[in-house]
Amino acid sequence: MTQTQPAQTQPAQTQPAQTQPAQTQPAQTQPTGSQPATILVADDEQDIRELVAYRLSRSGYRIIEARDGEEAFQLAADQAPDMAVLDVMMPRLNGFDLTKRLRHTPATQRLPILLMSASVQEADISRGFAAGADGYLTKPFTPDQLLTRVRDVLSRG
């Protein structure tokens, strides 16, 4: 009996050790070194904002949430996030105008920005890049598409 117990426990011990590091790798690859990147997520639709925040936090990022463009601007200026994920259609200050404002403010002019919108119109996508966005993500999107775009924008920033 004692001969079969070590054979059974060794494989069980090696499997969890292999899966745990894979879950912590996204935070280790962030540009801030040992600390995870902080991402500002701004969307007036609570469900979307919470889903984006949840998915990014599960991938190792720190999240700051804003409900509209004005709140997002204040948080970006006060807390200096490493990146912003902004909805285009928000009250008080839309994503296009917020992006322009962030680009014209010395403290936030280099902030990597990913715009997200339900609009797939080429004119809107072009308008986002003209405003200064580093990336554009159309809704609906999968969690993997979100993470890919966030990592891509962060790596360029």
| Domain ranges across the chain | 37-156
Burial of 87 (0-12, 13-18, 19+ CB in 10 A): buried
CATH assignment of 37-156? 3.40.50.2300
The tens place of each residue's pLDDT in the chain, 157 residues long, gives 444 333 333 333 333 333 223 333 333 344 445 689 999 999 999 999 999 999 999 999 999 999 999 999 999 999 999 999 999 999 999 999 999 999 999 999 999 999 999 988 999 999 999 999 999 999 999 999 999 999 999 998 7
In contact, 39 and 61? CB cutoff 8 Å: yes
Q: Which two tokens stand for residue 32?
A: 């801030």
